[in-house]
Amino acid sequence: TRYVKFTPSAAVPTGATIANAQVQLAYKSATAGDQTCWYFEVYNGATLIGTHGSSATPVSCNSTTSYVTDTVSVPEVNTSAIANAVVLKVYMKNSGSRKASFDLVQLDVNYFLD
């Protein structure tokens, strides 16, 4: 199993109310025709709090050498404490067992202060 861990640098103020959160990921296959698929897990520090996709049903797949950007809602990121401690573990599989590239991995958190 291959994965990459990302720790976004969210700076959500303590006590903020989270309106929504989403992950954006842009990726491509290094070799045209190779299908690269991905899914991810969301952690609050070391605790798993959400899974989006799986090896059997990935978030998406891309068989081109052009970047594709996916946006996935992460409703489990619902407090400022979670937003500030979130870790994303992204799993990828390439049908040709070759490289894939990331252009963007981003956590967007919309919040408001009471």
Q: 87-107, pLDDT tens digit by residue?
A: 999 999 999 888 899 899 999
Question: 20-78: per-residue pLDDT in tens?
Answer: 999 999 999 999 999 999 999 999 999 999 999 999 999 999 999 999 999 999 999 99
Rounded to two decimals, what is the model's pTM?
Answer: 0.92
pLDDT at 15 over 80: yes
The amino acid present at 7, given as its one-letter code, is: T
| Burial class of residue 72 in the structure, from the number of CB atoms within 10 Å of its CB (0-12 exposed, 13-18 middle, 19+ buried) | middle
pLDDT at 34: 93
pLDDT at 114: 79
pLDDT at 1 over 60: no
Return phi, psi of residue 63, to 5°.
Answer: -110, 20
